[in-house]
Structure 1
Amino acid sequence: MSERSLLKSRMFWVGVLYFAEGFPLGIFYEVLPVHFRMQGIDLSDIGFLSLLGLTWTLKFLWAPAVDHYRHHRTWMLVVDLCMAAIMFTLAVYSEFGGWMWFAIALFTLLSATNDIAIDGYTVEFLNKREFGLANGLRIGLYRVGMLTAGGLLWVQPLVGWTGVYFLAAIILIVAGVSCRLAPPEPPAAKKSAVTANNELATLLKQPSVLLPAILLLSGLIVFALGTPLRLMGASTLAKAAPAIALGMICLALLSGVYNRRRSVRIDRSELVDGPVLGAFVEMSARRYFFPVLVFILTFKLADQTIGFMIKPFWVDAGFSARQIGIVSIQIGLVLSIAGGLVGGWFTDRVGVFKGLWILGLTQIISNLGYAYIAHVFPLPGVETAQPLNQQIMMYSASAVESFTQGLGTGAFLAFLMSIVNKRNAATEYAVLSSMFVLARSVAGWAGGFGAESLGYANFFLLSFLFGLPAYLLLPWVRKMLDSVDDDPGNAAVPGYKS
């Protein structure tokens, strides 16, 4: 493929964008904890990093600003250059100090803003038929970006921490310039004259309409507060935060259904085009949104529930840390990327709806492999030699689980992009992805109790059943996909091919 042809490929730019999105996250989760520990920082202080990572959960709060001012590529360039400046600062002043917390907090805020701009741009840039393959590439290049950041640790003995941060800064500058060179986003519809004051005044006149949006936002914020509560020692409240958040979201769903049954009408001209809450209200007022929201919360429940329990199961089955690292993590990473690519390709060929339910079944069925192994083989304890047939079966179950998880994720992300209104792409996608993170956290939290009380075999079997309720909501999913607006404003950027 010639250079000119490559630059005209939408998939090429998707790869560039999601490498740029994954790299900062890799710096945060892979590089900073290692540097801190090597500086002698206490584990409790290193754990405080997770509090700073809340910006990725709460990014939907300022996503409307990106939608309102648009110019996604400029957002990407500016935040990447600012993150590079922070890396240069860490390179020059690599010794730990109180100022570093502020620098890292700013870094996470910028990275989350970069995510908003990239996700919003990508939804606008692509057409619906490309979402499958694009999300397969997204999964792969996002992981490559994270691995590249982690790879900087390999050169640390040669260049020191100063060199690591200088290299990170250079990569961020290249990423920012590359994102700015991406094709322009399609022209936006004429801006509404509605101001924040206008939309707030209209909402206050109809509090019953405002309630679902408030409950939805409050639920996500309560969920995000779980980490700081845990760090402050309020462990009981921290453990309850996911359940409280889920309860608020359920109340939002019920209030939305109540409004619809009462045929509550809203003045869409004053709300849908509002710069602050317009996207949230438009989503909650959309037909089929609430059953589809339940589908989003439950579609990946089967693999989310067992996700945090798989590694403890390996340990209790007698596998060493080295075996777990090589097979379950390294090979599993490659297979999950491959699954994402195959799942994306398949979704583009058969359509989002068919890809969603077919590939979703594969990720549910894969749980039965672990259920069977836990049922037929004993759990000898930590680092105990296992028979060869048990090793082969465990490795096979891990390979199937990783690959099918990638299959389901590729189709699921394509679905999320398909139902987003391109006019509010950044905000709506940020909200939906936050819902997905909420469901994953609640499922992982509940999974620990399930595995402990039921045992691995029964718990893994039960997790298979957790994936089935989402299929009861498929009629509404189909209706939502069929109702997606295909007017010219939702078309992909012209002049570029897949």
Structure 2
Amino acid sequence: MKTDNKPWFWIPLLNFASGFPYIIITSVSVLMYKKLGINNEDIGVWTSLLTLPWVFKPLWSPFIDLHGTKRKWFLGMQMFISIAFFIVGLILPLNYFFYLSLSIFCMAAFASASNDVATDGFYLLALKKEEQSLFLGIRNTCYRLAMITGSGLIVLLAGNLEHQYGDNNKAWSYTMIVVGLIMSIITAYNFFSTPKIEENTIETKTADDKKNFVTVFVSFFKKKQIGLILVFILVFRLGESQLLKMLTPFLVDPIKYELVESVANKNEENALKLFSTKVKSGDQLTASELQLLYSSLPIQSVGRDSKKPLKEIIEKNEVEYNKANKPRIDFINHLVEHKGSSTEIEQNGMGLETEDVGLIYGTFGLIALLAGGILGGIAISKQGLTKWFLPMILAMHLPILGFVLLAHFHPASIYYIYAVVILEQFGYGFGFASFMMFLIYVAEGESKTSHYSIATGFMALGMMLPGMLSGYIQQYLGYGNFFIWVFIATIPGIIISRFLIFPKDYGKKTEEV
């Protein structure tokens, strides 16, 4: 194996190519579907299921580990992902775009998970152990830079296109095509920049090299403290997994809904009369009267700098009708319950536009992330993982309290949102470096590529299951109480981390003599 490579030339964009499709598939899709009219419950379930390939990637990671070179694998998978994004862009303007695009995203997710396996293996093979901790911060920062590019610049592009065309489906269609183009360019760069470090191919591997799947898989579960380690991996991101799914809806959901005094037609006039008489009097409504309110009561959504009519969406199927009109129906049900008093109704989101979200995450959030990631890697390489494990975990989780405050107080100034996002991004960049270093420790030994993918597979499982329930939990608790619950959900991981045993100076760069 050749080791005379220049990591600074290939590590940044190779890890960018892992983070970019992941954030588009699992996170940006949340905002996209939200802006295309999909409700929080469906968003939580289906976008969480898109993480399933990262859960099961250990099942095929030995195949990648034992057949061909890591370089061939990640280049092939990156090209497949590029094509998939182009196809999603063509699908979004069509009817039934939701399930069609989900199916393409699912295939892209399998390719992205395979790309991660090959990329992780390439990283472990190409760098010496003392280099791994030094470049871990750079690697994680570039990975997160890709994620911020997706949730920042790509979202900013989508927001501008929404305003330009006045058609969210068209705007997001063009956005996904741009994503496919970016991914194609990155793939081409990685083709020319990554070194050919693996000399052994499937034809030249010995019988000892070609370990069977069972041996590789079972050896992982023989590691010291493996039971406690797996519990820690599963619960460490219990809070974060729910936060990531509902944070974007929280930011873009209207601050509140309110009645409109003027009417556009006879049905709206009748609905307002019904509201002023029977609803405010607390009288029992018939099914037809309630349906009149659902369909015709004039309501507008109030954002931070805008007010928009909340129109009824016509659907033939009753279930789909209720899903599509859920904001209207929920608001009217609350009005009926509180005899027309909207002051009793809890405020909802922060009322940001799509481009506001992209701007916040693509500017100061990006700077905070880069600073946190670089400092995290440097801290571990200088003093080891043991010293920084708990402080980094706390730095990652404590900023959730900022979203608790936002949800309860809804400050008028957008700068409070900037402050919370900056703290959250810095804490994530700084703290997540410790978790990834711990996973590298867990993967130590033979078949490190497969064992690392098994560990990250359990991490993905710990993200997927809570994420699937996040929409239902948020709808039940409301945003304010939901973020309190998210913070409480971080406590088990913090407690378990104190019982994990690993070398005191693990990750510390050795001094050269």
TM range (shorter): 0.5 to 0.7
The equivalent residue for 1:473 is 496
Q: In structure 2, do the counterparts of structure 1 residues 139 and 469 end up closer, same or farther at CA, with 3 Å as the change threshold? A: same
The equivalent residue for 2:465 is 442
Q: Work out which of the residue numbers 357, 363, 370 in structure 2 matches 1:325.
A: 357
The CA deviation at 1:355 is 2.4
1:281 aligns with 2:193: no
Q: Determine the C-alpha separation between the residues in 2 that align with 1:459 and 1:86.
A: 34
The equivalent residue for 1:416 is 439
The equivalent residue for 2:135 is 134
Work out whether residues 308 and 447 of structure 1, in 8 Å CA contact, stay in contact via their aligned partners in 2. yes
The CA deviation at 1:357 is 1.4
1:352 aligns with 2:385: yes
Q: Determine the C-alpha separation between the residues in 1 that align with 2:232 and 2:445.
A: 21
Q: Determine the C-alpha separation between the residues in 2 that align with 1:93 and 1:327.
A: 27
1:113 aligns with 2:117: no
Q: Determine the C-alpha separation between the residues in 1 that align with 2:32 and 2:467.
A: 28
Q: In structure 2, do the counterparts of structure 1 residues 169 and 362 end up closer, same or farther at CA, with 3 Å as the change threshold? A: closer
1:171 aligns with 2:169: no
The CA deviation at 1:87 is 8.1
Alignment gaps of 5+ in structure 2: 162-169, 256-346
Q: Work out which of the residue numbers 170, 178, 182 in structure 1 matches 2:195.
A: 182
Q: Determine the C-alpha separation between the residues in 2 that align with 1:291 and 1:299.
A: 12
The CA deviation at 1:187 is 7.6
- Corresponding letter in the other structure for 2:61: A
The equivalent residue for 1:269 is none
1:301 aligns with 2:238: yes
Q: Aligned runs of 1:332-481 on 2, under 5 Å?
A: 332-372=365-405, 377=409, 386-388=411-413, 391-421=414-444, 423-445=446-468, 447=470, 460-474=483-497, 476-479=499-502, 481=503
The CA deviation at 1:176 is 4.4
**CA offsets 1:198-254 (integer angstroms, 9 cap, x no match):** xxxxxxxxxxxxxxxxxxxxxxxxxxxxxxxxxxxxxxxxxxxxxxxxxxxxxxxxx
Q: Determine the C-alpha separation between the residues in 2 that align with 1:453 and 1:164.
A: 37
| TM-score, length-scaled by structure 1 | 0.60
The CA deviation at 1:91 is 11
- Corresponding letter in the other structure for 1:64: P
Work out whether residues 137 and 340 of structure 1, in 8 Å CA contact, stay in contact via their aligned partners in 2. yes
**CA offsets 1:34-73 (integer angstroms, 9 cap, x no match):** 9999xx9x999xx989877743443222111111235212
Q: Aligned runs of 1:150-229 on 2, under 5 Å?
A: 150=154, 167=181, 170-171=184-185, 173-178=187-192, 181-182=194-195, 184-185=197-198, 193=207
Work out whether residues 396 and 430 of structure 2, in 8 Å CA contact, stay in contact via their aligned partners in 1. yes
SS at match of 1:478: coil
Q: In structure 2, do the counterparts of structure 1 residues 124 and 484 end up closer, same or farther at CA, with 3 Å as the change threshold? A: farther
Work out whether residues 136 and 337 of structure 1, in 8 Å CA contact, stay in contact via their aligned partners in 2. no
**CA offsets 1:360-387 (integer angstroms, 9 cap, x no match):** 1122322333445556x3x6xxxxxx44
Alignment gaps of 5+ in structure 1: 1-6, 196-272, 380-385
Q: In structure 2, do the counterparts of structure 1 residues 58 and 368 end up closer, same or farther at CA, with 3 Å as the change threshold? A: same
- Corresponding letter in the other structure for 2:240: D
Q: Determine the C-alpha separation between the residues in 1 that align with 2:407 and 2:422.
A: 16
Q: Determine the C-alpha separation between the residues in 2 that align with 1:100 and 1:449.
A: 23
Q: Determine the C-alpha separation between the residues in 1 that align with 2:437 and 2:425.
A: 19
Q: In structure 2, do the counterparts of structure 1 residues 308 and 281 end up closer, same or farther at CA, with 3 Å as the change threshold? A: same
Moved more, 431-440 or 49-58: 49-58
- Corresponding letter in the other structure for 2:368: L
Q: Determine the C-alpha separation between the residues in 2 that align with 1:166 and 1:456.
A: 34
Work out whether residues 288 and 476 of structure 1, in 8 Å CA contact, stay in contact via their aligned partners in 2. no
Task: Name the structure with the higher helix share.
Answer: 1
Q: Determine the C-alpha separation between the residues in 1 that align with 2:15 and 2:380.
A: 19
**CA offsets 1:450-496 (integer angstroms, 9 cap, x no match):** 556666555544544433333443455223x469899xxxx99xxxx
Q: In structure 2, do the counterparts of structure 1 residues 279 and 452 end up closer, same or farther at CA, with 3 Å as the change threshold? A: same
Q: In structure 2, do the counterparts of structure 1 residues 127 and 285 end up closer, same or farther at CA, with 3 Å as the change threshold? A: same
Q: Determine the C-alpha separation between the residues in 2 that align with 1:456 and 1:291.
A: 32
The equivalent residue for 1:291 is 228
Higher Cα Rg: structure 1 or 2?
2
The equivalent residue for 2:267 is none
Q: In structure 2, do the counterparts of structure 1 residues 177 and 95 end up closer, same or farther at CA, with 3 Å as the change threshold? A: farther
**CA offsets 1:11-39 (integer angstroms, 9 cap, x no match):** 443213112334544676799999999xx
Q: In structure 2, do the counterparts of structure 1 residues 279 and 325 end up closer, same or farther at CA, with 3 Å as the change threshold? A: same
SS at match of 2:212: coil
The CA deviation at 1:351 is 1.2
Q: Determine the C-alpha separation between the residues in 2 that align with 1:393 and 1:162.
A: 31
How many residue pairs match? The answer is: 390
The CA deviation at 1:426 is 2.7
Work out whether residues 124 and 425 of structure 1, in 8 Å CA contact, stay in contact via their aligned partners in 2. no
Q: Determine the C-alpha separation between the residues in 2 that align with 1:476 and 1:191.
A: 40
The CA deviation at 1:449 is 5.8
Q: In structure 2, do the counterparts of structure 1 residues 298 and 193 end up closer, same or farther at CA, with 3 Å as the change threshold? A: same
- Corresponding letter in the other structure for 2:222: A
The CA deviation at 1:106 is 5.7
Q: Determine the C-alpha separation between the residues in 2 that align with 1:295 and 1:417.
A: 14
Q: Determine the C-alpha separation between the residues in 1 that align with 2:231 and 2:176.
A: 47
The CA deviation at 1:288 is 0.9
Q: Work out which of the residue numbers 41, 52, 55 in structure 1 matches 2:53.
A: 55
Q: In structure 2, do the counterparts of structure 1 residues 399 and 102 end up closer, same or farther at CA, with 3 Å as the change threshold? A: closer
Work out whether residues 18 and 138 of structure 1, in 8 Å CA contact, stay in contact via their aligned partners in 2. yes
Q: Determine the C-alpha separation between the residues in 1 that align with 2:458 and 2:441.
A: 16
SS at match of 2:140: helix
The CA deviation at 1:430 is 1.9
Work out whether residues 381 and 507 of structure 2, in 8 Å CA contact, stay in contact via their aligned partners in 1. no
Work out whether residues 55 and 459 of structure 2, in 8 Å CA contact, stay in contact via their aligned partners in 1. no
The CA deviation at 1:178 is 3.0
Q: Determine the C-alpha separation between the residues in 2 that align with 1:120 and 1:136.
A: 17
